[in-house]
Structure 1
């Protein structure tokens, strides 16, 4: 199992243009998956690996887990970077959800370490089971082809003062294969008790919904769902490329030009326009509402997150930022944390 497991990861990284001498940052929780990824990299001869661990301070045992991570790295002569963010406190101060705040904190941490270490590749240990759980989760929220393609093997992140690549070289590897690899190598790992709790939607999908789908279909569904994500990623990439060929998104969108586009391209154009103006949480409903500014007579204004607006006037759609006071509040929170 070990050679096949390792070869799969090496192949995925080679496809991303990386070799065994390139510097790599590994998002490392200490759980089974990130331990397996790290062990495979070392077996394959990757010589410039740094573990990065963010303590979210959400569980009493998180500080002890950070110490375990430091010990794991030390015994293997690996560099390690550990930081702590009180996510619950930060979420309360910013009026945001725990998961959203934790995600932003992680990516800010990744960007900071990538900048300090002059490294542009951050590896995450998401695997094939995570992929299908993501697909099902997004399906039940009404996602389109882009969302249903789930996680990309490689995606670019652009944070403050640093851009880096997020790589997921284990998306073609199933949890059972990881378990077998970890057992054969005798690897220690941390067990997160929250993974078994039914309180979280992803856990209910993993432990209940997927099993019920297989009972209903009377056959395994995991590989079929995984293939669906692969097919939809290719479709979404095609639409993305077609939209990019239209050229840069102008400061103001021309309503007549938007109406000439196929609906899929129109939505992609609008989503890109919103993204380039710093709008967060760009989901289907928001894109559809802004698209309707071009396709319908009313309304002529759409509310955007954080007090901003999209408005149509004289055949053009333009962006209105939030009021100055709100901008100052958001800026002060950003500088503080």
Structure 2
């Protein structure tokens, strides 16, 4: 066993000498074997690993869970491994968030893994998923609904924190029986989680009822599934590289928790690449959610809709919206309504509109040429003909704009719709008000108020400096 795991670590370069490692230790058979193996390899090959075991009591099983924690702590003491014990009321968290037990447990557990890794300067999180776990995962995803990526199984390595903490699984080639034998041979007496025998959990039902039947059909079914998964993984890796290249071409905005893409070139892509691009984006903006094919298909269907806008709410508090040819992926609450605001506008001077994240600058010009050719975020007025004092505010019900050059008025709401300002941005947009009249909708249009002509003596220049976030609105 040691030689097999050691070869896997070397072949895949999963662990390097001198690294600080966080190891998930539940006290069960698999994680007990993993910790013992890592300690043995560290001793035999002088790797200089600093091991930190993390155990979480999820508060599901009372005294049984406390005994699991005690065993894990005792094991770490015997092996000379630093032990980190956490306790969290996951049932209460489920009640608070509406999440399922496994989803909530995973979110909390991985949160503590990250915490310890950052505190200890660890570069790797090592988990004990094995070959039988891999087969269960593939079958479970297949039954629930998945695409090629899901059928390739759990990766041997992936980023837990991009560029700093990597999750690795060095036991994916080892079976459950082999790990049980290892524990027996090395005098380990791991705990057994009684919930693993409960048939109320669908994954347990798959392991306890379905997989034994598959063994009756072909006792080598595990081997065949893993071989197929590896082939699928290789095919998927190639197609994903193509999807990444294409995604760069349609990308408009990329932030840590937000992606905006151009829908028109996206729709011109082959549907196979579209699905992969959607999956890449979902994984990027909500890393802790396991996405199914139904989620991907829902986004795909919405992206090709005929209505000007649409919105989709997904797990993990993620909202996907299609607005005027763009698809936005961002957390729920990012687009919350902005409260009403109002700022006096100094002349000359400048003012920062915090709610809109824009600067508004004013100054007087001695003369002006080609004032009608100014960009839409600037305007020049006859200062002596403005209908009142200047201030800046966001929109109000009933706002209208006297259209320059047409002699007519238009409702502000209709103007913003016609110019395709996304709904989520309309309350942020600062309007220039003179008296009680809207005289400038920055980036959109100025009003007919106070035009300059040969009689103008004071030229008031107003310039709105939009931040980077506004690029997606006006580009």
The two structures have a TM-score, normalised by structure 2, of 0.62
Which structure exhibits the higher relative contact order, with contacts defined as CA atoms closer than 8 Å and separated by 6 or more residues? 1
Measured after TM superposition, the shift of residue 163 of structure 1 is 4.3
SS in 2 for 1:302: strand
**1:34-79 deviation line (CA, Å, top 9, x unaligned):** 1111111122125422211111111112122212211211122211
Kindly report the root-mean-square deviation, in angstroms, between the aligned alpha carbons of the 2 structures. Answer: 2.6
Residues 130-169 of structure 1: pairs in structure 2 closer than 5 A = 130-158=133-161, 163-169=164-170
Residues 205-244 of structure 1: pairs in structure 2 closer than 5 A = 205-215=206-216, 217-244=217-244
Task: Check 1:192–1:326 CA distance in 2 against 1; reply closer, same or farther (3 A cut).
Answer: farther
Measured after TM superposition, the shift of residue 85 of structure 1 is 0.9
Q: Which is strand-richer, 1 or 2? A: 2
More deviation, 42-51/123-132: 42-51
| Aligned residue number for residue 31 of structure 2 | 34
Task: Check 1:35–1:284 CA distance in 2 against 1; reply closer, same or farther (3 A cut).
Answer: same
Measured after TM superposition, the shift of residue 113 of structure 1 is 0.4
Task: Check 1:77–1:229 CA distance in 2 against 1; reply closer, same or farther (3 A cut).
Answer: same
Given candidates 235, 256, 261, the residue that maps to 1:253 is 261
SS in 1 for 2:84: strand
- Answer yes or no: is 1:302 the counterpart of 2:311: yes
Measured after TM superposition, the shift of residue 302 of structure 1 is 3.1
Q: Aligned partners of 2:126, 2:150: CA distance in 1, in Å? A: 21
More deviation, 219-228/148-157: 219-228
Given candidates 58, 61, 79, the residue that maps to 2:60 is 58
| Aligned residue number for residue 197 of structure 1 | 198
Q: Aligned partners of 1:131, 1:52: CA distance in 2, in Å? A: 22
Measured after TM superposition, the shift of residue 178 of structure 1 is 1.2
SS in 2 for 1:199: coil
Q: Are the counterparts in 1 of residues 94 and 100 from structure 2 also a CA contact under 8 Å?
A: yes
SS in 1 for 2:9: helix
| Aligned residue number for residue 77 of structure 1 | 80
- Answer yes or no: is 1:111 the counterpart of 2:111: no
Given candidates 5, 8, 16, the residue that maps to 1:12 is 8
Q: Are the counterparts in 2 of residues 53 and 83 from structure 1 also a CA contact under 8 Å?
A: yes
Q: Aligned partners of 1:21, 1:100: CA distance in 2, in Å? A: 33
Gaps of 5+ in 1: 328-337
Measured after TM superposition, the shift of residue 283 of structure 1 is 2.8
Task: Check 1:17–1:98 CA distance in 2 against 1; reply closer, same or farther (3 A cut).
Answer: closer
Q: Aligned partners of 1:64, 1:21: CA distance in 2, in Å? A: 33
**1:176-205 deviation line (CA, Å, top 9, x unaligned):** 211222222122211222222222222221
SS in 2 for 1:246: helix
Task: Check 1:296–1:214 CA distance in 2 against 1; reply closer, same or farther (3 A cut).
Answer: same
Q: Aligned partners of 1:40, 1:51: CA distance in 2, in Å? A: 13
Measured after TM superposition, the shift of residue 88 of structure 1 is 0.5
Task: Check 1:283–1:326 CA distance in 2 against 1; reply closer, same or farther (3 A cut).
Answer: farther
Residues 178-193 of structure 1: pairs in structure 2 closer than 5 A = 178-193=179-194
Q: Are the counterparts in 1 of residues 130 and 176 from structure 2 also a CA contact under 8 Å?
A: yes
| Aligned residue number for residue 127 of structure 2 | 124
Q: Are the counterparts in 2 of residues 302 and 310 from structure 1 also a CA contact under 8 Å?
A: yes
**1:74-110 deviation line (CA, Å, top 9, x unaligned):** 1222111111111001111122112111110011101
Q: Aligned partners of 2:176, 2:94: CA distance in 1, in Å? A: 32
More deviation, 118-127/88-97: 88-97
Q: Are the counterparts in 2 of residues 128 and 170 from structure 1 also a CA contact under 8 Å?
A: yes
Q: Aligned partners of 1:227, 1:73: CA distance in 2, in Å? A: 35
Task: Check 1:324–1:287 CA distance in 2 against 1; reply closer, same or farther (3 A cut).
Answer: closer
Task: Check 1:182–1:147 CA distance in 2 against 1; reply closer, same or farther (3 A cut).
Answer: same
Q: Are the counterparts in 2 of residues 307 and 326 from structure 1 also a CA contact under 8 Å?
A: no
| Aligned residue number for residue 330 of structure 1 | none
More deviation, 268-277/124-133: 268-277
**1:129-180 deviation line (CA, Å, top 9, x unaligned):** 1100111101001111111112111011138xx9411111000001121122
Considering only CA atoms, is the larger Rg found in Structure 1 or Structure 2?
2
Q: Aligned partners of 1:318, 1:202: CA distance in 2, in Å? A: 33
Q: Aligned partners of 1:323, 1:119: CA distance in 2, in Å? A: 33
| Aligned residue number for residue 327 of structure 2 | 317
Task: Check 1:282–1:19 CA distance in 2 against 1; reply closer, same or farther (3 A cut).
Answer: closer
